Amino acid sequence: MALSAAERATGHAVVLNYMSFLQQEVLNATRECARTATNGCINDDAFNIAQFQRTGSRSNVLAAWQIIAASHIQRRVWVAILDGGFYVDPITGGAINLPGLGTDFPIQPLQYDFVVGDYSVGAPSPTLCSGGGACPWHGTGSASVATGLVNNSAGAAGTGGLIADPMLFHLALKRSQQVKAIRTAILWGADVISMSYSGSCKEACQDEEEDSGYPKAISDALGAGIVLVASAGNAGMNVDAANIHPCTIDGVICVGALQDGGNTAFDTRAVDSTGRPQGWASNVGAGVDIWAPTNIPAIGQIGPMDANFAR
* Ordered structural domains, the chain, with CATH: 75-309 (3.40.50.200)
Q: What pTM value is reported for the model? A: 0.86
Q: Is the pLDDT of residue 276 over 80?
A: no
Q: Which pLDDT value is given to residue 308?
A: 39
Q: What is the average per-residue pLDDT within 147-160?
A: 88
Q: Is the pLDDT of residue 275 over 70?
A: no
State which of 17-21, 147-151, 181-185 shows the largest mean pLDDT. 181-185
Bridge-based pairing state of the strands 252-257 and 270-271: unpaired
272 or 70, greater pLDDT:
70
Q: Which residues are bridge partners to 257 per DSSP?
A: 292
What percent of the chain has a predicted confidence (pLDDT) above 70? 87
Q: Which pLDDT value is given to residue 277?
A: 61
Q: Which pLDDT value is given to residue 222?
A: 98
Q: Which pLDDT value is given to residue 116?
A: 95
Q: Where are the beta strands (DSSP E) in 191-235?
A: 192-195, 199-200, 227-231
Q: What is the average per-residue pLDDT within 290-295?
A: 89
Over residues 186-202, the pLDDT tens digits come to 999 999 999 999 999 99
262 or 16, greater pLDDT:
16
Q: Which pLDDT value is given to residue 302?
A: 59
Q: Which pLDDT value is given to residue 23?
A: 65
246 or 56, greater pLDDT:
246
Please give the helix or strand (H or E) that residue 164 lies within, else none. Answer: strand 164-170
DSSP type of residue 102: B
Mean pLDDT for the chain overall: 87
Q: Which pLDDT value is given to residue 216?
A: 97
Q: Is the pLDDT of residue 40 over 80?
A: no
d(CA 143, CA 279): 23
One-character DSSP codes across 248-268: TSTTEEEEEEBPTTSSSB-B-
What percent of the chain has a predicted confidence (pLDDT) above 90? 58
Q: Is the pLDDT of residue 117 over 70?
A: yes
Q: What is the average per-residue pLDDT within 178-182?
A: 98
d(CA 241, CA 236): 12
Residues 6+ apart with CB under 8 A from 150: 30, 32, 46, 65, 157, 158, 161, 162
Q: Which pLDDT value is given to residue 307?
A: 38
State yes or no: cis peptide before 99, omega within 30 of 0. Answer: no
Q: Is the pLDDT of residue 171 over 50?
A: yes
d(CA 115, CA 84): 9
Q: Which pLDDT value is given to residue 305?
A: 39
| Res. 20 pLDDT band, cuts 50 70 90 | confident
Over residues 44-92, the pLDDT tens digits come to 899 988 888 887 667 889 999 999 988 888 889 999 999 999 989 999 9
Q: What is the average per-residue pLDDT within 282-297?
A: 92
| Res. 22 pLDDT band, cuts 50 70 90 | low
42 or 86, greater pLDDT:
86
| Res. 110 pLDDT band, cuts 50 70 90 | very high
d(CA 110, CA 87): 13
